[in-house]
């Protein structure tokens, strides 16, 4: 079960999406959000001592630079959610990297699957996830039970 003081670091270049992430995660009970519009801002926050239990990295690139940034951002035991298109090779390499670093990596594609996000974040809702989906608007969400 998650702690209410858990913070989520969100890296996304699109300011409108940052607002939507904030709205979505607030609705799920996460209020400690660190919103960053680029990797440099996220690194400066981490270097300043900002801690987080989850990282949502929207638009992650599976190139050498992206992986170096991810290594600098993450420490042991964090849940990492990457929104990106990934090949099978990239997916397996990222899973191996996560296992070596005692982290958990989840690679998601857009649109965001709310049931999968709820499962990853280990959220206990006081309302149904389906009701949450129906009430959500803005970002492209998808209700796919098969994605769990």
pLDDT band, very low/low/confident/very high, at 145 (cuts 50, 70, 90): very low
104, part of any domain: yes
Give the H or E element holding residue 11.
strand 7-11
Q: At what angle are helices 64-73 and 39-47 packed, to 10 degrees?
A: 30
HSE-CB for 124 with a 13 A CA cutoff: 4
Confidence (pTM):
0.80
1, part of any domain: no
Write out pLDDT tens, residues 74-118.
876 788 999 988 888 988 888 888 888 778 889 998 788 878 888
Number of structural domains the chain divides into: 1
61, part of any domain: yes
Contact yes or no for 112/140 (Cβ under 8 A): yes
Write out pLDDT tens, residues 3-50.
434 789 999 999 988 998 898 888 888 889 999 999 999 999 999 988
Domain range for 17 is 7-110
Where residue 90 sits, what CATH number does that domain have? Answer: 3.40.50.2300
Residue 8's pLDDT is 93
pLDDT band, very low/low/confident/very high, at 136 (cuts 50, 70, 90): low
Strands 104-108, 112-113: pairing is: unpaired
Q: What is the dihedral of CA 120, 124, 128, 133, to 10 degrees?
A: -40
């Amino acid at each position: 079960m998650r702690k209410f003081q858990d913070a989520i670091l969100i890296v996304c270049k699109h300011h409108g999406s940052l607002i939507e992430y904030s709205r979505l995660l607030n609705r799920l009970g996460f209020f400690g959000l660190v919103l960053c519009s680029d990797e440099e801002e996220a690194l400066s926050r981490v270097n300043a001592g900002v801690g987080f239990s989850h990282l949502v990295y929207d638009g992650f690139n599976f190139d050498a630079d992206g992986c170096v940034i991810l290594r600098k951002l993450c420490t042991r035991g964090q849940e990492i959610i990457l929104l990106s298109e990934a090949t099978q090779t990239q997916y397996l390499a990222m899973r191996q990297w996560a296992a070596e670093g005692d982290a958990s990596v989840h690679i998601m594609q857009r649109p965001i699957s709310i049931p999968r996000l709820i499962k990853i974040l280990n959220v206990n809702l006081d309302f149904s996830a389906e009701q949450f989906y129906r009430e959500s608007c803005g970002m492209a969400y998808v209700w796919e039970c098969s994605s769990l």
